[in-house]
A and B are shown apart, each in its own frame.
Chain A
Amino acid sequence: MSGAAQLVFDRVTKRYAGRDTAALLDLSLEIPAGTFCVLVGPSGGGKTTALKLVNRLLPFDEGDISIDGRSITQLPVVELRRGIGYVIQQVGLFPHMTVGENVETVPKLLGWDRARRRARTAELLELVGLEQEDAKRYPAQLSGGQRQRVGLARALAADPPLLLMDEPFGALDPITRHRLQLELRRLHHEVAKTVIFVTHDIDEAILMGDRIAILREGGVLAQYDTPDAILAHPADDFVERFIGEDRALRRLALRRLDEVPLDPAPPATDSLLRVSTRNTARNAVSLMLEAGADRVLVVDDGGRVLGILTLARTEELLEQ
């Protein structure tokens, strides 16, 4: 294993007996290797169902799902699952095992020797931001955020090319949730695996995803694209409503000031509002409105002036 895998949904349909609307209807999705793909939508949209089809916790009725070109039905179920990392909202850590033993579960199933398992556990604990001593502790002794980190480490233990995450941060308080979102994003930059991430929170989707797939009720795919493209060109009314009326501002929130084209600064800069490059274009606009100005001076951490950003320029950003 290791590396990243391509995942393809090919016209997948799933129905539940006795219900008129399907859980998933004719879903086709191609997720390139290494992509962080978020499945988002209202409840009943089938996003968790779609996730559980991949590791065959649920069966599908029509279509096919393939990993790196191979249909998931071709592999014995247990072998398939051992090759996919799975993280759920309540984590499901084994209460009777230490953190270390939890993390080592799949490597042990795969027959790794003890030295290799121990080394891998140490590596993972550092990766997810835990202390080495935590390996000996029991889940009951950990906080919610720590438990979810262990869950993530456990899923990554055997270095699977694909990671499934089902609303993993849903049960955490907002501060911990935000911290873990950022860390997961950072982690994905370091270890570029294919990740399928389910959430009902559009903000989380925009923050985390390389690609977003919006599923509407009845399991129909509404739109599948990058966050910026969805915000710029929502496919229909449903998507528009789902992402909210402030999508222009959200688009601007995706642009950091050090990536945005700036105009040269005038010689006299004292009267201008100064804004650091660590801010987003959205923050710049917010500050302009507050100060009643139509431009700000952009400076980097060292205080060096990089240019000015005008309101007109930000409008141009939105036209892209």
Chain B
Amino acid sequence: MKVTVYVGTGGVGKTSVAAATALARARTGIKSMVLTTDPALRLRSALRLQSGVLEQKVTLDPPSNGELWAGLLDVKTTLDEAVRLYGDPKLVDRILNHPIYATVANSLAGMQELMAVERIDQLRKRGFDNIVVDTAPSRHALEFLDKPVFFAGLASSNWVKLVGRSYQFVSRTGLASLGRKTVDLYARVEEILGANLVRQVLDFYSIFVSIAEGYAERAEKTVALLKDPSVTEFRVVTTPQKALRDARYFTDAMASRNFPVGVLFINRAWQPEPGPQSRDGLTGRLVDWYRAVRQAQYGEIERVRREYGGKVRRIAALPELDRDVDGLDALERIAGSLGELTASR
């Protein structure tokens, strides 16, 4: 199995590149899935993704021996599923209906990425040969490589266990049974953060702990998969304007986690070069502007090649498509420019 994880900041066309990668792989005859968070309308319609549907097989034209699937990463739905799958049946309803459950699902930092890891695990078991993950458009997306660790820590840290169990215990026997020192500290924390909030949180985690434990175990296995370079490749998508900063940031951030960046795609490079004819009016202004911006783009691309050529497996500039190329055609065009077939591992 092969996993490709795309990272990058917002507005760089990461989702399209990820979908095109999955498409290129499907064309080689395998079962391929692109997991994405929030595709734009046009991409949604290209993949014929209906809203509310979590997973869908994409009809290819011309048809292919392989299969292209598109999946949405929805934190709440994935977590709901995990709770139903792995939760203690007696507690499932209490968890799903807990007043802070929805907030935890949607606001806990890194939850989105955690759920991506959860989905990779589920897909692997269902026989997908190739999974392309489009991470959330944020520099913080990489935290998903740290968060399972955090979550595992949280689950096994005696804290959740202790607090969870002691909460159940205390609710039966009263605070005094905790021992004076703990009660003291606990009371003070409550005093500051608000008793109500603290109790809600403790109550929630006391029933959530069983899920967290099982989850942490699976997350650790999946993260091990992500750490295996024969399975997983990390790729950065950026634009010419952001290329140097993104290359610097992501290669450093990945290196510090011992995940090398495999490919750096510099997307949306303006291709056609304007002719020498000089023009006046708005046309002249537009051509001058276009020429200057384009020149700056290629300058940046060159700098990135010079600085990072030796540090990643491949650097490629992808063209910005004409606006009239749409739907699956656009994805096929991008797929063609990725160099997947010749350069894939």
**Chain A partners chain B:** no
Where the two chains meet, the residues of B that have a C-beta atom closer than 8 Å to any C-beta of A are none
